[in-house]
Amino acid sequence: MSFSVADVKKLREETGAGMMDCKKALDAAKGNYEEAKEIVRQKGLARAEKKADRETKEGYIASYVHATGKTASLVEILCETDFVARNEEFQAMAKGLAMQVVAMSPETVEELLAQDYIKNPEMTVEDVVKGLSGKIGEKFVVSRFTRYAVGE
């Protein structure tokens, strides 16, 4: 074993994955932290893909108003249960997507999902949504959004 319990704990805190998933990822990566982090991320994306046929009847509408007060957005994200809709991490992701809409002005949901995420340009918006979906264990759907700008 070329990693410590602290490494497992750090990976768990950073990714939200289970202890055993983190340990297995570090084992597979032979102790390479960044490689293990990618393994955990890929596993979360695979979990999200498995949930693609589930029904989403609950959700959350996030809003964001830019500091100037001249642009704003609303984003609707659907999930499977009201329990997840009230989850702080889910709501924070939705707020981040509302901020993304104000900053990047996408025209469609597909365009939004394909954009680099403004809070982490190494990931797309779709990666962020699928990553949290895999972590929480429910299907998420970015259903719709609207952007407002004064004078438009």
Which amino acid is residue 106, in one-letter code? P
Q: Which domain holds residue 105?
A: 58-149
* Cα gap 45→65, rounded to integer Å: 30
In this model, does residue 78 exceed pLDDT 90? yes
User: Which value, in Å, is the radius of gyration of the alpha carbons in the chain?
Assistant: 17
Q: Would you place residue 46 in the very low, low, confident or very high pLDDT band (cuts 50, 70, 90)? A: low
76 in the Ramachandran plot: left (φ > 0), alpha (ψ -120 to 50) or beta? Answer: beta
User: Looking at the structure, do residues 41 and 78 belong to the same domain, yes or no?
Assistant: no
Q: How far is CA 22 from CA 12, 13, 49, 137, in A?
A: 6, 10, 20, 16
User: Looking at the structure, do residues 77 and 11 belong to the same domain, yes or no?
Assistant: no
In this model, does residue 50 exceed pLDDT 70? no
User: Looking at the structure, do residues 91 and 34 belong to the same domain, yes or no?
Assistant: no
User: Looking at the structure, do residues 83 and 108 belong to the same domain, yes or no?
Assistant: yes
pLDDT in tens, 86-99: 999 999 999 999 99
Work out how many domains the chain is built from and give that number. 2
Q: DSSP per residue over 88-110, as a string?
A: HHHHHHHHHHHHHHHHH--SSHH
3-state DSSP helix/strand/coil % of the chain, to nearest 5:
50, 20, 25
